[in-house]
Structure 1
Amino acid sequence: MLGHAGKLCFFRSVAKVSFDGRCNITPKRMSTMMRHFSANPSSNQDEVILETEGNKCLITLNRPKALNALNLNMIRKITPALKQWENEEKVLIIIHGTGGKAFCAGGDVRSIIETRNQPTSTLSCDFFREEYQLNYLISTLQTPYIALIDGITMGGGVGLSVHGYYRVSSDKTLFAMPETAIGFVPEVGGTYFLPRLTGKLGLFLALTGYRLKGADVYHAGISTHAVNSQENSEIEGCLAKFTKAATFLEKPFSLEPHMPLINDCFSAASVEEIVAQLKASNDPFAQETLTTIRKMSPFALKITKRALDEGSEQTLAECLQMEYRLSQRFVADHDFPEGVRALLIDKDQKPQWKPSSLEECTPEKIQSYFEPVKDELQL
């Protein structure tokens, strides 16, 4: 993966690129800037490190032991910084993660579930509201925003990257939206960007939690550019140059042979019909996919299918508002806490879903998840 030195070289090179004539610094000044970025050892204890040099900015997600999982404290540091930098007309913002394994492996949902029944806790409301507001803010930035999605990028990490203008992946990137496995819905704007991927790829990724690795992240349209993980990477023409030189992209999209089947099966009108078509297929990939789907929360699958169908016709703001409603219903219900328990707390990998089958998911309960909540998300 891109080591610290590699990320600094990437920053040095990118900072030479001109954005509307506002950013043009010499290697000498860049060297001074990078010394400044490394000169505050006390900040290494912070979960988010915010650094600026002149009109350039760097965000470092700094929870390596937790794979840089996003929590409310981190959101509350990043959001005002982005607003301030936008107002100050900075010319460059880069976000990356420490530890060498992950950009950001998701949101800290374990804390949300563990505190949800505490009488004074508002974490389940505050976290999702402020996370989605941050996702929307990233989508509206005029300042060039570059996410280095090197390593694991899931859930909340997707929200920190996919809405920005530039997403740079490597051969070590691992992307997934695995929420249905914990009885939840692919959110952080997932109901907006997933339906806009090629064909029915987004719905396939949403329902199955399928993991895209290396070149697949770029071929699927998740990243805008790519670099070899071991190179000192040098936005526009600079990134294009290194994308062209990213030799791992010569590996074809692993899902390409399966796209006809994915488009056919996942074009069905309901999850039940998707399952039926997969079951009827003799293709080994269809059977593998069927096995995966059967492990997921049936209710989460039903909600996810409807949410992506609606999201395909909505704006990002409308999708995030829908997702906020869904998040509050999932937190208060059975499957999301049960999924977090089974996969993240007890780790017995044996969630007991309620309802236990797709057929038991009533239209009335599904509709109730999409109804307005008391305090709607404001963007």
Structure 2
Amino acid sequence: MPLRAKLLSQQQQQPQSRTMASASSLAHFPPTPADEPEDVVFQSLYGLRTIELNRPKKLNALNGSMIRKIAPRLLEWAKSDMANVIVMKGAGDKAFCAGGDVQQLAKWNQDPAINGRKKSAAYFGQEYKLDHLIATYQKPYIAFMDGITMGGGVGLSIHAPFRIATERTVFAMPETTIGFFPDVGASFFLPRMEGQVGTWLALTSEQLTGANVFYSGVATHYLHSTSLNALESRLAELRFRDYDDLDRRLEVVNATIEEFVTGLPYDEPIAVAGEVRKAIDRCFRFDTVGEIMEALEGEMKNPVTNKWASKTRETMHMRSPTSVHVTLKQMRIGGKWNIASAFKREFGMASKFMGYPDFNEGVTARLVEKRKPKWRPASLEEFASEDRRQLVDSFFLEDGKTKKLELLNDETYSEYPFKNFGVPTEKEVEDKIAEGKVKSKGEVVEYFVREKRQKQGVKEVVSEILSRKTQEGEEGLTWVYEE
């Protein structure tokens, strides 16, 4: 089914006009004052349009000025026949984008003279509008996740059809470390990751690095950073026919990226694999933090996973207790939200967090004063009472007090329409085995390597899935379902 048809079939509302730079949409992003610094650099080369986040000393942290420049430019390019491919990247060699400028938000929140909390909420509103625009963009959009990619940087990349990791990529959603929750559409993408990996990443703020960003499915491709400039030049040369639909254009871009693949690092195996991956799925499948902590305690008796379990329990106790409890509920209900609902609901949550003490304390303690935060409530265990459970629920209530987020278009979907560009998923492998046409692990690997046109990483990822989730017997290959 063509991509456009997929999007339309999944929409829960009547489709409206496509992303266009109309007067009403641009009104969401007022012109940036001319005296603001050049924090975003736009370049055009033939059919390529490049957006470079240009705050390298700040690890390209995203601020309101940058958002107000990027969104209108994307809207402009959406209706231009001259713009074929969009590349989003960061300046310098350390970061793509290390997140939003949360220190500025914390300062605003503590300044009642300027109604700072309202100003912070407005920032999140603009950020989520941009992220949703990227998620529903109708031109090939490629994110170079070269370097630190966290928080706001994830919002600029994770919803794109093409996400390129390099040896320098460091991916994380670190919000629970600063008294916030994983946002920028994390309600949508984290619950849809394999097994309970998304929940584990969300609650612990753990990092994935290098090739493991690719193995996990966060990135669709892995290239060495030295190949990116050459790839940009090649992308600029691409020409599409007038009658090529988006699916065809995406296929051409995908084949072009694959031309620059130079291999995976031999000394960097899949990290979230084997017994640790099984333990993640066992421990983080529960709906309460108490059950997760109890499961981790039980896992400490396992000689293979006890070090991982002990470290994870310690990590959980360091995070904001409120953030951890709110985030777990977010992971459980966010999987039922469509992409538009995810941003709208997150806006309400973010607005409420701006008035909650843990965010200001977490940002000030972690990023400014470099000390241990003093969370309120102070421990995960304090949320066993009814009033604490109501506190968690309050972050999800649509009470009418918070202004609702108006997105730049009405497009939505319930599943990512671009999943075929990454490595195979567990569901794909399970479905193939269920057909009964493959009798051995080797046959399954060969099938997916062939189906994915020799894409790098397919053999490694499928082999890991098979070793963990299948067994071979007299009746052939069967899928193992754990209790």
Residues 138 and 164 in structure 1, CA contact (< 8 A), matched pair in contact too: yes
TM-score normalised over the length of structure 2: 0.67
The RMSD of aligned alpha carbons is 1.8
Alignment of 1:57-136 (within 5 A): 57-89=49-81, 90-116=83-109, 117-120=111-114, 121=116, 122-136=118-132
The answer as to 2:301 corresponding to 1:284 is no
Alignment of 1:157-196 (within 5 A): 157-196=153-192
Distance (Å, rounded) in 2 between the aligned partners of 1:201 and 1:355: 27
Distance (Å, rounded) in 2 between the aligned partners of 1:260 and 1:363: 29
Residues 61 and 96 in structure 1, CA contact (< 8 A), matched pair in contact too: yes
2:376 to 336, 354, 372: 354
Letter matched to residue 282 of structure 2: D
1:371 to 383, 394, 397: 397
Residues 95 and 148 in structure 1, CA contact (< 8 A), matched pair in contact too: yes
Structure 1 residue 312 displacement after superposition: 0.7
Distance (Å, rounded) in 1 between the aligned partners of 2:165 and 2:266: 11
Residues 179 and 359 in structure 2, CA contact (< 8 A), matched pair in contact too: yes
Distance (Å, rounded) in 1 between the aligned partners of 2:96 and 2:266: 20
Distance (Å, rounded) in 2 between the aligned partners of 1:307 and 1:322: 10
The answer as to 2:70 corresponding to 1:55 is no
Decide whether aligned partners of structure 1 residues 44 and 371 sit closer, same or farther in structure 2, where only a CA change above 3 A counts. closer
Structure 1 residue 308 displacement after superposition: 1.1
2:366 to 343, 346, 362: 343
Residues 226 and 242 in structure 1, CA contact (< 8 A), matched pair in contact too: no
The answer as to 2:337 corresponding to 1:321 is no
Match of 1:236 in 2: 254
Alignment of 1:198-277 (within 5 A): 198-231=194-227, 233-234=230-231, 235-243=253-261, 245-248=262-265, 251-257=268-274, 258-277=276-295
Residues 3-44 of structure 1 deviation map (CA, whole Å, 9 limit, x = unaligned): xxxxxxxxxxxxxxxxxxxxxxxxxxxxxxxxxxxxxxxx99
Distance (Å, rounded) in 2 between the aligned partners of 1:240 and 1:320: 32
- Match of 2:44, SS? strand
Distance (Å, rounded) in 1 between the aligned partners of 2:208 and 2:259: 23
Letter matched to residue 173 of structure 2: M
Structure 1 residue 128 displacement after superposition: 0.2
Distance (Å, rounded) in 1 between the aligned partners of 2:267 and 2:163: 19
Structure 1: segments with no counterpart, 5+ residues: 1-42
**Identity level (%):** 39
Residues 215 and 249 in structure 1, CA contact (< 8 A), matched pair in contact too: no
Distance (Å, rounded) in 2 between the aligned partners of 1:152 and 1:249: 22
Decide whether aligned partners of structure 1 residues 44 and 119 sit closer, same or farther in structure 2, where only a CA change above 3 A counts. closer
Distance (Å, rounded) in 1 between the aligned partners of 2:394 and 2:112: 24
Structure 1 residue 210 displacement after superposition: 0.6
Distance (Å, rounded) in 1 between the aligned partners of 2:283 and 2:296: 6
Bigger Cα displacement from structure 2, 281-290 vs 365-374: 365-374
Structure 1 residue 118 displacement after superposition: 3.4
Structure 2: segments with no counterpart, 5+ residues: 1-34, 232-252, 301-305, 408-483
Decide whether aligned partners of structure 1 residues 250 and 242 sit closer, same or farther in structure 2, where only a CA change above 3 A counts. farther
Distance (Å, rounded) in 2 between the aligned partners of 1:164 and 1:264: 30
Residues 155 and 185 in structure 2, CA contact (< 8 A), matched pair in contact too: yes
Distance (Å, rounded) in 2 between the aligned partners of 1:80 and 1:46: 16
Residues 345-378 of structure 1 deviation map (CA, whole Å, 9 limit, x = unaligned): 1111x10111112232312111111112431111
Distance (Å, rounded) in 2 between the aligned partners of 1:318 and 1:261: 31
Distance (Å, rounded) in 1 between the aligned partners of 2:326 and 2:364: 20
Residues 246-268 of structure 1 deviation map (CA, whole Å, 9 limit, x = unaligned): 33277321111211000000011
- Match of 2:222, SS? strand
- Match of 2:190, SS? helix
Residues 44 and 62 in structure 1, CA contact (< 8 A), matched pair in contact too: no
Residues 150 and 174 in structure 2, CA contact (< 8 A), matched pair in contact too: yes
Structure 1 residue 54 displacement after superposition: 4.2
Residues 112-135 of structure 1 deviation map (CA, whole Å, 9 limit, x = unaligned): 110123332442121100000000
Distance (Å, rounded) in 1 between the aligned partners of 2:317 and 2:379: 9
Letter matched to residue 351 of structure 1: P
- Match of 1:294, SS? helix
Q: How many residues align?
A: 336
